[in-house]
Amino acid sequence: MFRVLLGMGWALGLAACSGRPPPESITPVSEAQLTPELRADYDVFAQRCSKCHSLAKPLNSHVDDDDVWIRYVAKMRRQPASGISERDGEAILRFLHVLVEQERAKNAEKSK
């Protein structure tokens, strides 16, 4: 219900500046959660994690455990030319944690 198209403005701005096609910019984060910090983390995620595959891959993976993401991000970082620094990895994991919480909330709802 409170879903927003996060990063639309950001994506348009990026496209205008760099001429690169914007990565998919839709993420299921509620407006209430969308702090400037989280938005910055999301931007890192959207940029780094859309380089080799669509963002839908991580967004639709239904991971509900931070440890799984820690392993994934480490694995993706090790890919040659991932361009993901350690700092990027931390920002990305902060954003992914929000997805984990949403996934858990959904699962709790289902098992009621």
Residues that bind ligand HEC (CB under 6 A): 48-49, 51-53, 57-58, 61, 72-73, 76, 79, 81-82, 84, 92
Q: What's the min distance (Å) between Cβ of 34 and ligand HEC?
A: 19
Q: What's the min distance (Å) between Cβ of 63 and ligand HEC?
A: 7
Residue/partner pairs of 24-32 with CB below 8 Å, 24 or more apart:
24/50, 24/54, 24/55, 24/56, 24/59, 27/55, 27/59, 28/3, 28/59, 28/99, 28/102, 29/3, 29/4, 29/98, 29/102, 30/2, 30/3, 30/4, 31/2, 31/4, 32/2
Q: CB nearer to ligand HEC: give 2 or 53.
A: 53
Q: What's the min distance (Å) between Cβ of 27 and ligand HEC?
A: 12
Q: CB nearer to ligand HEC: give 2 or 83.
A: 83
Q: CB nearer to ligand HEC: give 29 or 76.
A: 76
